Amino acid sequence: MGGVEENNEEEYVPKHYYKELFNRLQMITQGSKTVEEYQKELEATMIRANVNEDEEVTMSRFLNGLNRDITNVVELQSYVELEELVHLAIKVRGQLKRKGSAWSRAYSRSSSG
């Protein structure tokens, strides 16, 4: 009667679960994923791991996990917020994709003759 009801979810989550999530968070990279897919995976893992960090730290984490060709171009741009950084990365990936397909079309024409 009149007792305090506790709702402490941490008691039901094994401690190794968070350790595994933190390890996974450190290893997430873009790889073959789109920028959007990579950003969503990073964000979802941070939420599950209950990570609450400064936006500058998150931007650094995001930038370090991007594919190097995108990072090289994005680092030359100006951005202040994570949303701007993600938008820039998406634009750069699109440009690199278009440039790559134009290069491969030109290459296939020159090597087929």
Confidence of residue 98 (pLDDT cuts 50, 70, 90): confident
Confidence of residue 9 (pLDDT cuts 50, 70, 90): low
Q: Is the pLDDT of residue 108 over 60?
A: no
Average pLDDT for residues 61-71, to the nearest whole number? Answer: 97
First-to-last C-alpha distance (Å) of the chain: 89
Which pLDDT tens digit goes with each residue over 22-40? 999 999 999 999 999 999 9
Prediction pTM value: 0.76
Residue 83, C-beta contacts closer than 8 angstroms, at least 6 positions apart: none
Which pLDDT tens digit goes with each residue over 40-57? 999 999 999 999 999 999
Residue 34, C-beta contacts closer than 8 angstroms, at least 6 positions apart: 93
Cβ neighbours, 10 Å, residue 73: 16
